[in-house]
């Protein structure tokens, strides 16, 4: 067996230790005589898996007690709707920051439910707005932003200060990449398929006072109150994805937690950006202050060489480097589970490719 270095933006590479453990436990989980996939979500075995995963996530992220953690389905895209469906009606308006493709989708969805003020728009500039340029509507029900734009590779170097207005963050591609102060947020949500686990699971970390504001017309499956009251078991949750996320949380704990991840992630990103910056053959369009640790887009000076680059990288076991169709070029997603050796291998290949093709 030989595993590749998988630079996909998501579903993304998972820690090998986690996959091995899942394989060992696949047919018979801890003597239960069945796989986690086959268990009732209400049975004691799965209840223990679910509770352990939540406890570990709370520990790793230092989630305060006045926050609920929900293990939902529907992806981050459902949260684009669920956030306004539950909260926008409180004042009828919400503020959004637009930094790229995913912000835009969140904005488009929110507009179905009320007035949306785009208070800053740097989507065309490959950067986050300057902190000093931000001001918010005093009657906004919440402020929504995307701390890391997965496609553009733009990451906020700060957490916006919204005062008493709840801050809502789509952390799909940056959650668990470093420690964050959860108490600064009203809601954090994330699709799991990047830094958390397999696709199908969506994490929502929500301050308790923001639960219970949905209008009666809100479908049960979109209502935070219903999921919170049922401990994410209102209907059948994505049990296997929940279990695997739990294994990832244990892996994080065994590997020094988010402090250790932050050190490694910063180093991986710095080395890759340094390689891009050191040559005229490669370029990255993002404001250096706002460069993502997780998603590193780069272009080749001659786009005619893109196909050759991808083909040769794949032949060397480095796959899914093609950039998103909207920005072109390459994108290396280097989440927690991408080993440093993978980034080193990519850098060496980039240097070698440049020498042969410049
Ligand atoms: N937000 C961000 C920042 C993302 O990267 C993605 C997925 N790439 C989404 C939202 C959409 O997530 P999902 O596919 O889970 O709906």
- Does ipTM top 0.90? yes
Q: Which atom of ligand 1 is nearest to the CA of 146?
A: 3
Which of 12, 102, 147 to mutate for ligand 1's pocket (most ligand atoms within 8 Å of CB)?
A: 102
235 is in an annotated binding site: yes
* Ordered structural domains, the chain, with CATH: 5-15+257-356 (3.90.1150.10), 18-255 (3.40.640.10)
Span 10-56, pLDDT tens digits: 999 999 999 999 999 999 999 999 999 999 999 999 999 999 999 99
Report CA(145)–ligand 1 centroid distance (Å).
13
**Could you list the active site residues?**
102, 170, 194
User: Encoding tokens for residue 253?
Assistant: 């704990």
**DSSP output for 12-80:** ----HHHHHHHHHTSSSGGGSSS-GGGS-TTSHHHHHHHHHHHHHHHHHHT--TTEEEEEESSHHHHHH
98 is in an annotated binding site: no
Q: ∠ at Cα 346 (340, 349), nearest 5°?
A: 140
Assign 3-class secondary structure to 63-106.
CCCCEEEEEECCHHHHHHHHHHHHHHHHCCEEEEEECCHHHHHH
Q: Is 195 strand, coil or helix?
A: coil
What residue ranges of the chain have pLDDT lower than 70? Answer: 1
With beta carbons less than 8 A apart as the criterion, state whether 204 and 89 touch: no
Span 266-323, pLDDT tens digits: 999 999 999 999 999 999 999 999 999 999 999 999 999 999 999 999 999 999 999 9
**Nearest to 122, CA basis, from 305, 286, 4, 334:** 286
User: Encoding tokens for residue 261?
Assistant: 């991840």
């Amino acid at each position: 067996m030989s595993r590749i270095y998988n630079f996909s933006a998501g579903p993304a590479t998972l820690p090998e230790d986690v996959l091995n453990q899942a394989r060992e436990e696949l047919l018979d989980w801890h003597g239960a005589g069945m796989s986690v996939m086959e268990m009732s979500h209400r049975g004691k075995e799965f209840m223990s898996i679910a509770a352990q995963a939540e406890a570990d996530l709370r520990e790793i992220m230092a989630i305060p007690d006045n926050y609920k953690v929900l293990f939902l389905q529907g992806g981050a895209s459902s949260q684009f709707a669920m956030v306004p469906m539950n909260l926008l009606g409180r004042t009828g308006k919400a503020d959004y920051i637009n930094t790229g493709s995913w912000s835009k989708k969140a904005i488009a969805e929110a507009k179905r439910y009320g007035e949306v003020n785009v208070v800053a728009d740097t989507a065309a500039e490959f950067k986050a707005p300057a902190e000093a340029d931000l001001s918010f509507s005093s009657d906004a029900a919440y402020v929504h932003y995307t701390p890391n734009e997965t496609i553009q590779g733009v990451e906020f170097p700060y957490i916006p200060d919204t005062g008493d207005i709840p801050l809502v963050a789509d952390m799909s591609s940056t959650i668990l990449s470093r420690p964050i102060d959860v108490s600064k947020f009203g809601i954090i949500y994330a699709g799991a398929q990047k830094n958390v686990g397999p696709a199908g699971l969506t994490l929502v970390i929500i301050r308790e006072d923001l639960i219970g504001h949905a209008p009666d017309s809100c479908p049960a499956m979109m209502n935070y109150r219903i999921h919170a009251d049922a401990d994410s078991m209102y209907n059948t949750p994505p049990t296997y994805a929940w279990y695997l996320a739990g294994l990832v949380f244990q892996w994080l704990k065994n590997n020094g937690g988010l402090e250790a991840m932050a050190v490694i992630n910063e180093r991986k990103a710095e080395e890759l950006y340094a390689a891009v910056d050191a040559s005229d053959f490669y370029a990255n369009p993002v404001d250096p202050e706002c460069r993502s640790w997780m998603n590193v887009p780069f272009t080749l000076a001659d786009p005619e060489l893109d196909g050759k680059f991808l083909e040769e990288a794949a032949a060397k076991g480095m796959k899914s480097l093609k950039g998103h169709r909207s920005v072109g070029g390459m994108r290396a997603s280097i989440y927690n589970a991408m080993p440093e050796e993978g980034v080193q291998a990519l850098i060496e290949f980039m240097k070698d490719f440049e020498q042969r093709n410049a």
